[in-house]
Amino acid sequence: MFNNKNILITGGTGSFGKKYVKTLLKNYTPNKIIIYSRDELKQFEMQQDFNQPCMRYFIGDVRDKERLTQAMNGVDFVIHAAALKQVPAAEYNPMECIKTNINGAENVISAALANNVSKVIALSTDKAANPVNLYGATKLVSDKLFVAANNISGGHNTTFAVVRYGNVVGSRGSVVPFFEKLINENAAEIPVTHNEMTRFWINLQDGVDFVLKNFERMLGGEIFVPKIPSMRIVDLAKAMAPNLPIKIIGIRPGEKLHEIMCPADDSYHTYEYDDHFVIAPSIKFSSRSNDFTVNLIEERGQLVDSNFEYNSKNNPEFLTVEQLLTFNQMAEQ
């Protein structure tokens, strides 16, 4: 699907972007892979590892529609990964988060339509489901923009979908590197916010593979949610630092005890497939398929029970302390 194609990744120098590029180069022969992000140093460093002839590096901000439109010239597929994603930073700097995550999403949509890009997938997060923090709220707005973009008529063939998943093991600024730092500094204890806190847990490669697959599946308008395991944060602490006592420090502003991927309120338009869920649009498209029971590769899904909710607490699949150890080690490979 990606052979001889031009692919643009906003936020391509981030954790997701680099793994995505690595996977694309391993399995396909794209014509061009365009990395679009702001910081020249991150791009310079990425060029040391990825300097294949198909690689292109564009300095640009998703807040800048003109630059995005220029960068998407001739592009077939876009993965929108650029975001501000630190929950506390978003609470303190709400307008910055809104400009990048919401205005940026709008610009990606306009630039893709202007260039007749074939397919766009935007990355989202479980924090966008029934959000309680600004980061999640901006991602929910972004999700809505991408879903509704499929309804923009006027001869455009671009389709847009969203991929929503949970915490990525070991990503920048997340709990695993935080615990690792404390362990390396010989901390006397491991701080955990709440004894019962659970999170969805995915490794980056699975996230990347899921996004790649969804380019084949998408009709346009879906929020794709992978079926992934949950874990208890206390179990993660036990797996990573078995000899250190755990100190409960209390839940932080903007945090939930458990995360949701498919809210109960969306159950009347959520479909269960073998290894994922599809939250179909609540709006009807005027010139697009509205049948989300079958996708482009002929997989079939079934409407979930009314009030079904896919959340990290009731998830049938939980990782044990031992499984977490193996899971985290695998994620580092």
Catalytic residues: 127
- Which residue sits closest to ligand NAP, CB atoms considered? 14
Binding of ligand NAP by 62 (CB under 6 A): yes
Binding of ligand NAP by 121 (CB under 6 A): no
DSSP class per residue in 43-110: HHHHHHH---TTEEEEE--TT-HHHHHHHTTT-SEEEE------HHHHHHSHHHHHIIIIIHHHHHHH
Q: Which of 5, 22, 56, 63 binds ligand NAP (CB under 6 A)?
A: 63
Binding of ligand NAP by 198 (CB under 6 A): no
| Minimal distance, residue 245 CB to ligand NAP, in Å | 27
Nearer to ligand NAP, 43 or 289 (CB): 43
Pairing status of strand 246-248 against strand 223-226: unpaired
Question: Is the CA virtual torsion 308, 226, 291, 142 positive or negative?
Answer: positive
Nearer to ligand NAP, 205 or 289 (CB): 205
Selected range binding ligand NAP among 10-18, 147-155, 211-219, 318-326, rule: CB under 6 A: 10-18
Binding of ligand NAP by 295 (CB under 6 A): no
Q: Would you say 292 and 165 are in contact if contact means Cβ atoms under 8 Å apart? A: no
User: One symbol per residue from 259 to 278: x for binding ligand NAP (CB under 6 A), - otherwise; what is it?
Assistant: --------------------
Binding of ligand NAP by 39 (CB under 6 A): yes
Residue showing tokens 């991929």: 163
Residue showing tokens 């009030």: 307
| Cα(264)–Cα(270) distance, integer angstroms | 9
> Rounded to the nearest 5°, which phi and psi values hold at 173?
75, 10
Pairing status of strand 270-272 against strand 276-279: antiparallel
Beta partners for residue 58, in sequence order:
36
User: One symbol per residue from 73 to 102: x for binding ligand NAP (CB under 6 A), - otherwise; what is it?
Assistant: --------xxxxx--------------x--
Binding of ligand NAP by 332 (CB under 6 A): no
| Minimal distance, residue 167 CB to ligand NAP, in Å | 5
| Minimal distance, residue 296 CB to ligand NAP, in Å | 23
| Cα(170)–Cα(155) distance, integer angstroms | 42
Pairing status of strand 230-232 against strand 260-262: unpaired
| Minimal distance, residue 286 CB to ligand NAP, in Å | 29
Nearer to ligand NAP, 257 or 283 (CB): 257
